[in-house]
Structures are given as structure tokens and as C-alpha cells.
Structure 1
């Protein structure tokens, strides 16, 4: 069973901003790190879904998904996707000499992932063949 990117974002949101009256058994930093993992998974799934619509072979190598995104989704979306994915990756990793990510930082990443999910659901801007023909 696959979970949709939207469901992962909703789960991350519930971890970061639990309903009033909820007993907190996890520290805020741990909830923020767990939310970062869920958000990165959501972004990865959204990228896979996007590339399945364009060409299935792009889902095989993660690095190529980011490198070629600019040609199909536009430079702004590609830049935001790379920046957000890198920030979430850094927040996911546990290092004994660093503090966990701040919940406010991950809330900002949550909003960015939500925006990126909408952008990746949209149709591609151009294809490489169209782009070369316009030049």
C-alpha cells in the first residue's frame, strides 16, 4: 500500500502541531525530525509521481530527477525543490554534536513542500525539444 504525498504532509503536520489537549510523549526536536522524514518522503513520492507522468525511466535514479526538473517544471520550481529536499535531508540525519531541527524551521519546510506538491501536480512547462525549437 502506498501512502499519498498529501497524507504524509498531513501526518507531519499532526506531529508538528498536535491538537490541543494532546499528551506530548515525544520531545519537540524529535517530533520535528520525524516530521522532516515524512516531508522528505512526501517530496520524493511527489517527484516520482511527476516523473511517471513525463517518462517512467526518470524514477530510477534520484539524482537525475533533480537535475532534469528545471527543463520540465521550470527553474524556480527546480531550485525550490532542490533547496527544500537538501534542507529536509539535513534535518533528517541525527548527529550527536548538533541540536535537532527547530519545529519552526520544519513548519516552514512543511509549507514549502505543500506548495511544491501543487507545482508538481501541474503540467510541465516545456519539453527539451520544444525548448530547443524556441531558441
Structure 2
């Protein structure tokens, strides 16, 4: 399993130096990398906290259960980030892709949540 930090590093690298010819594509790729970082952190959290919840195939169900095991504010933050990143990763012809500033903000938010979800961190 790839660590959340690896996904965060790759997203950071992509924001700093998008590959040539990826205009319009790299922001979505970055959003998917950030979502993968969040999901990887959730996998680690559920493995340590409640493996039965982690075995649940639906990520939405896992996020809904998070408020039972973790601080409610953090659980809402995870839900909002997951939803935002899911939406940003899909192409909508009527919407612009996220800006670099928006991606940097989401990156910081995901990094913060990854730290909060680490086993042993105060909930």
C-alpha cells in the first residue's frame, strides 16, 4: 500500500512542475492524488482502529462511521475534503479546473487530516 505521504509528495511535485502538455489535466490529476492520500490515511486509520469498518467496501460508509470513532469536526472535514476532491477529479464541461492556489489549500487540508488520522493521535 502506498503511504499518504507519498501521494502528498507526488501532488506537491505535480503542482510545482506540471509536465509539458498537461495543461488542463494536471489539476485533476493532482486532485486524484490528494484523494488517494486521504483514502490511504483512512485505510491506515481503520486497520488500527476498527478493521471491520475498514473491510467495508464503500468509502462513503467508512467516512460516515468516522464520527463514531473520531472527533466529529474532523470527521466532517474528512467528508468535505473527500467530496470536494471527488468532484474536482471529474471533468465537467461547464466548470473550470481547480486553480493552483485552491490545490495548495486542499493539499494543506489533506496533510493536516492525514496527521490527525494517524493511530495514536488525539481524536
Q: TM-score, normalised by structure 2?
A: 0.88
Q: Which residue of the other structure, out of 1, 4, 20, is the alignment partner of 1:24?
A: 20
Q: 5+ unaligned residues in a row in structure 1: which ranges?
A: 127-135
Does structure 1 residue 118 correspond to structure 2 residue 107?
Answer: no
How many matched pairs? 121
> In the alignment, what sits opposite 2:12?
13
Q: How far, CA to CA, are the matches of 2:79 and 2:94 in structure 1?
A: 25
Following superposition, the deviation at residue 124 of structure 1 comes to: 6.7
Does structure 1 residue 48 correspond to structure 2 residue 38?
Answer: no
Runs (4+) of structure 1 exceeding 6 A deviation are: none
Q: TM-score, normalised by structure 1?
A: 0.81
Q: How far, CA to CA, are the matches of 2:96 and 2:46 in structure 1?
A: 35
Choose 1 or 2 for highest CA Rg: 1
Cα pair 1:72 1:125 within 8 Å, conserved? no
Cα pair 1:43 1:85 within 8 Å, conserved? yes
